[in-house]
Amino acid sequence: MKTSESYLPEGSYMVQPAVRQAFSTLGALRQAQDEGRILEAVAQRCTAAHDLLFDLGIAQGILPRVSCALGIEQGDTREIAILSRVGKPTCFIVTDIDESTDPPTAWLSRTIVQQKAQDRMLDSLRPGDVIPARVTHLEPFGAFVDVGCGVPSLIGIENLSVSRICHPSDRLTVGQSILAAVRTVEPENRRISLTHRELLGTWAQNAALFSVGETVRGVVRSIEPYGVFIELTPNLSGLAEPRADLHPGMAVSVYIKSILPQRMKVKLTVIDVLAPYDAPTPPRYFITEGHIDEWVYTPACCDKKPVKHRRAAIKKKNETVTFILHFPLFLFFIVRLRTCPA
């Protein structure tokens, strides 16, 4: 897995011995300041002036409003980005220590860390790189994630999985640690976008997890006049005959009648309706590190020829790197036809 030299999602630093040691004495804190070491603590309070306050044990920490997040000083980032840090791990560096107060006051900056992290990512990441991320919040159009020191990125809902979902909460939860692949890098806009489904396996890899004659759990994803699409894994769905008592999001048990790689189909029979899932099942990754140059979802023996579904590229320093994904054309139309309940 590629990471950008120590720039990890927030929540990753507090467990590091070097971070805990920095809060043991004022001398250790000063050493961390001199080294520019990334530290982390839970924000305890946000003042009326939108400064964040921390209890560092041997000192009180103050993170001034303009140093809380990139874009705050310029007005590009909303104030909720500061308010929402209360009660959450927040990374920073120490910029100054005032020992004249009781307890001593450590002045902190998060924006310096974020600027360095963003610069490193924009310079080093390429489409197809696999990186760690942490889900920060979910919107109908996608999942926002922290790719390092609070630097945000977006995974569009269409890139979370091959199986279509109605909302990102069907797939992920806030605070969840995940993996993602870089989809685009835009240095001019200082933006990185991600994709997730390529890490969840091809049709053949997912189909190999099941056997004909088994009865397994699934989730109803869409109802069509000709049948019910039931998700077996985020990247594998099967088709069952229509039933009036089913609706999208319902958990069911299904009997696997056939698995047809040549036609890329799984035929199912619904056995029973199950209690709803408490939370999305954690993703099973088939790719956990390195770089993806090309990803073909379709089985090699499939009668349908794969087509180029999406292309993402970065142009920088007279170099073009292309990340190519292949999907069968008929699957694209199926995804477009499916609908979610209002």
> pLDDT-derived band of residue 302, with 50, 70 and 90 as boundaries?
confident
Q: What is the CA radius of gyration of the chain?
A: 24
Q: What is the pLDDT of residues 55-88, one digit of tens each?
A: 999 999 999 999 999 999 898 899 999 999 999 9
310/156 Cα distance (integer angstroms): 13
> pLDDT-derived band of residue 7, with 50, 70 and 90 as boundaries?
very high
Residue 285 near residue 199, CB atoms below 8 Å: yes
Q: Residue 49 burial (CB < 10 Å; 0-12/13-18/19+)?
A: exposed
Starting from the edge strand earliest in sequence, which strands make up the sheet with 306-316, in order?
A: 294-296, 319-328, 306-316
Q: What is the pLDDT of residues 183-226, one digit of tens each?
A: 999 999 999 999 999 999 999 999 999 999 999 999 999 999 99
In the block, which residue shows the tokens 């309070």? 45
CB atoms within 10 A of CB 116: 20
pLDDT at 41 (0 to 100): 98
19/9 Cα distance (integer angstroms): 15
> pLDDT-derived band of residue 48, with 50, 70 and 90 as boundaries?
very high
Q: Is the pLDDT of residue 34 over 50?
A: yes
pLDDT at 334 (0 to 100): 38
Spell out a b/e string for 134-156, using b for 16 or more CB atoms within 10 Å of the CB, else e.
bbbebeeebbbbbbbbbbbbbbe
pLDDT at 234 (0 to 100): 97
pLDDT at 341 (0 to 100): 54
At position 73, the amino acid (one-letter code) is E
Sequence-distant (≥ 6) Cβ neighbours of residue 314 within 8 angstroms: 126, 127, 184, 185, 186, 187, 320, 321
Residue 164 near residue 339, CB atoms below 8 Å: no
339/265 Cα distance (integer angstroms): 20
Q: Is the pLDDT of residue 239 over 50?
A: yes
Q: Residue 12 burial (CB < 10 Å; 0-12/13-18/19+)?
A: buried
Closest CA relative to residue 135, chosen from 236, 279, 232, 39: 279
> pLDDT-derived band of residue 311, with 50, 70 and 90 as boundaries?
very low
Q: Which residue has the higher pLDDT, 9 or 317?
A: 9
Average pLDDT over residues 33-38: 96
Residue 145: CA count within 13 A, CB half-sphere:
31
Q: What is the pLDDT of residues 86-141, one digit of tens each?
A: 999 999 999 999 999 999 999 999 999 999 999 999 999 999 999 999 999 999 99
Q: Is the pLDDT of residue 43 over 60?
A: yes
